[in-house]
């Protein structure tokens, strides 16, 4: 099969599924044309001719990029994110732009202006979020791999809900240039796929230093795939007792325990540890992430690009009306929360306090990782919930992130790997590693696969 044929079939298949799944906001109509070039030029990269789904908060030159918001409904980027340049150089084909929660704020894709995606395992359930479109597209077999972003769990939670593998690398491992900013101190691009090997290949392609992103690391990028190993002998695994969160589905606990037993049989040691500050992680995350978001989203003003309100009399009305009409409720909630937390009267009590508690929490995580190679636990407390179940209850939705937020606060690499079923729906085991030890995370997942 030629790359051109594969791309054409992929696009056709996505379109056939779209009415049911709504995994893509924009399909790349030029995919076959792009693939033709790969055929003609004999590009021999590690991803030559492989169609990949791209979360629609990653900018793509000449392909509409919306961040699932009305405010960017017509945004046509004039450049591509660094990760897209790297994918193209490796021969990958952009299959199209996948659905997400508006500006990646959410855990279900229900805040998308373009409607929710559904979980291919059960169409009445959410695919998780915010990278729910990417996860569902992979689970449904529309693409072998997809890029997601993870600020507080947006790769791992949907990976768990869709029964696939997903990895958020160490903060700084992948360039954020051209990734629509949500919370810059937490955001990272990562990969989702059914097989661990495929994510390993893609992460090696997209990782590395970028002069456009001063937070990107200069550390050399390993060939994760070539170095995959199932040898768990002598690996020290820590299981924080606070990860056994109240309200966790019993079958989630059961499946995670089974996975831990399997690692013991492979020669790993498993011990319980404590992360006492975890109980504050959700509050800390929502103060910090919303504060950064309120600042990052100031650029959407109806003047430079995107949605512009009509019939306005002056510049102030242009700003106010464009933002009022262009942003959805969840984004407005975050902007208000963040603006408040950063305001003169509230700064010390909210933003500063949250930043201090984050520092304490990072120390706790790093202390555990001095004595252990990996931290493990469930990726989520329950399997995929019903569409509509939590959408009117922001706190219930936020609490859903309790297990994934720690890795973002501490900037650590973390993955979710399939680990059995609960109520017939997939469950994920979460694997967190030391900074830049993505290989250890991949290997542990590979051993279980
Ligand atoms: N669910 C979290 C939030 O709504 C995480 C989102 C993300 O990782 N992008 O902020």
- Answer whether residue 443 shows pLDDT above 90: yes
Ligand 1 atom nearest residue 100's Cα: 9
Ligand 1 atom nearest residue 131's Cα: 9
H/E stretch holding 239: strand 236-240
C-beta 130 within 6 A of ligand 1: yes
Ligand 1 atom nearest residue 289's Cα: 10
Averaged pLDDT of the chain: 97
Is residue 379 among the annotated active site residues? no
H/E stretch holding 318: helix 315-326
Contact 295, 304 (CB under 8 A): no
- Answer whether residue 160 shows pLDDT above 90: yes
Contact 297, 103 (CB under 8 A): yes
Q: Which of 272, 279, 271 is nearest to 241 (CA)?
A: 272
Ligand 1 atom nearest residue 106's Cα: 4
pLDDT recorded at residue 158: 98
Residue entry with tokens 């469950």 = 427
Residue among 130, 167, 291 whose CB has most ligand 1 atoms within 8 A, to mutate: 130
Residues near 231 by Cβ (< 8 Å), separated by ≥ 6? 266, 267, 443, 447
- Answer whether residue 245 shows pLDDT above 90: no
Q: How far apart are CA 114 and CA 68, in angstroms?
A: 6
Q: Give the three-class secondary structure for 415.
A: strand
206 confidence band (pLDDT: 50, 70, 90): very high
- The one catalytic residue among 69, 112, 117, 154: 154
The ipTM is: 0.98
C-beta 153 within 6 A of ligand 1: yes
pLDDT recorded at residue 292: 98
pLDDT recorded at residue 43: 81
44 confidence band (pLDDT: 50, 70, 90): confident
Q: Tell me the C-alpha to C-alpha distance, in Å, between residue 316 and each of 69, 302, 322, 336.
A: 21, 11, 10, 18
Ligand 1 center–CA 266 separation, angstroms = 34
Mean pLDDT of 173-181: 98
- Answer whether residue 265 shows pLDDT above 90: yes
- Answer whether residue 274 shows pLDDT above 90: yes
pLDDT recorded at residue 260: 98
Residue among 56, 152, 414 whose CB has most ligand 1 atoms within 8 A, to mutate: 152
- Answer whether residue 228 shows pLDDT above 90: yes
- Residue with CA closest to ligand 1 atom 5: 152
C-beta 106 within 6 A of ligand 1: yes
Backbone dihedral angles phi then psi of residue 51, each to the nearest 5 degrees:
-75, 135
C-beta 190 within 6 A of ligand 1: no
C-beta 35 within 6 A of ligand 1: no
Between strands 51-55 and 145-150, the pairing is parallel
Q: What pTM did the predictor assign?
A: 0.98
C-beta 373 within 6 A of ligand 1: no
C-beta 440 within 6 A of ligand 1: no
Q: How far apart are CA 182 and CA 151, in angstroms?
A: 8
**215-218: long-range pairs with CB below 8 Å, 24+:** 215/171, 215/172, 215/176, 215/184, 216/172, 216/173, 216/174, 216/175, 216/176, 216/177, 217/170, 217/172, 217/173, 217/436
C-beta 430 within 6 A of ligand 1: no
Is residue 130 among the annotated active site residues? yes
- Answer whether residue 305 shows pLDDT above 90: no
Query: In this structure, what token pair is assigned to residue 426?
Result: 């997939």
- The one catalytic residue among 107, 112, 117, 130: 130
pLDDT tens-place string over residues 351-408:
999 999 999 999 999 999 999 999 999 999 999 999 999 999 999 899 889 999 999 9
- Answer whether residue 246 shows pLDDT above 90: no
- Residue with CA closest to ligand 1 atom 10: 105
Ligand 1 atom nearest residue 401's Cα: 1
Ligand 1 center–CA 59 separation, angstroms = 19
- Answer whether residue 247 shows pLDDT above 90: no
């Amino acid at each position: 099969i030629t790359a051109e044929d594969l791309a054409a079939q992929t696009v056709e298949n996505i379109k056939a599924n779209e009415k049911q799944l709504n995994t893509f906001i924009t399909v790349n109509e030029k995919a076959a044309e792009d693939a033709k070039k790969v055929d003609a030029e004999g590009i021999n990269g590690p991803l030559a001719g492989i169609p990949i789904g791209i979360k629609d908060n990653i900018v793509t030159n000449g392909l509409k990029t919306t961040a699932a918001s009305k405010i960017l409904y017509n945004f046509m980027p004039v450049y591509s994110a660094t990760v897209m340049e790297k994918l193209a150089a490796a021969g990958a084909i952009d299959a199209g732009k996948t659905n997400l929660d508006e500006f990646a704020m959410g855990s279900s894709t229900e805040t998308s202006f373009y409607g929710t995606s559904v979980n291919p395992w059960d169409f009445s359930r959410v695919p998780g979020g915010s990278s729910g479109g990417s996860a569902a597209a992979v689970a449904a077999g529309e693409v072998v791999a997809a890029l997601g972003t993870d600020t507080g769990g947006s790769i791992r939670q949907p990976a768990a809900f869709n029964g696939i593998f997903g990895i958020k690398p160490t903060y700084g491992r992948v360039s954020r240039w051209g990734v629509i900013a949500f919370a810059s101190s937490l955001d990272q691009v990562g990969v989702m796929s059914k097989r661990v090997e495929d994510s390993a290949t893609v992460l090696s392609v997209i990782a590395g230093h970028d002069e456009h992103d001063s937070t990107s690391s200069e550390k050399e990028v390993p060939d994760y795939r070539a170095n995959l190993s199932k040898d768990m002998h002598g690996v020290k695994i820590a299981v924080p007792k606070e990860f056994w969160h109240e309200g966790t589905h019993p079958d989630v606990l059961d499946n995670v325990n089974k996975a831990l037993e399997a690692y013991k049989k492979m020669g790993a040691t498993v011990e319980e540890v404590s992360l006492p500050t975890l109980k504050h992680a959700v509050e800390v995350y929502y103060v910090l992430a919303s504060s950064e978001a309120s600042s990052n989203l100031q650029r959407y003003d109806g003047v430079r690009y995107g949605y512009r309100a009509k019939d306005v009399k002056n510049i102030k009305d242009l700003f106010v009306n464009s933002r009022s009409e262009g942003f959805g409720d969840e984004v407005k909630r975050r902007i208000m929360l963040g603006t408040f937390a950063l305001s003169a009267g509230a700064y010390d009590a909210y933003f500063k306090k949250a930043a201090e508690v984050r520092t304490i929490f990072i120390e706790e995580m790093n202390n555990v990782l001095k004595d252990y190679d990996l931290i493990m636990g469930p990726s989520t407390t329950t399997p995929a919930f019903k569409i509509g179940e939590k959408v009117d209850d922001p706190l219930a939705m936020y609490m859903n992130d309790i297990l994934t937020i720690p890795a973002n606060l501490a900037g650590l690499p973390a993955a979710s790997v399939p680990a059995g079923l609960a109520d017939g729906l997939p469950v994920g085991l979460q694997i967190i590693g030391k900074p830049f030890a993505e290989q250890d995370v991949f290997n542990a997942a590979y051993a279980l696969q």
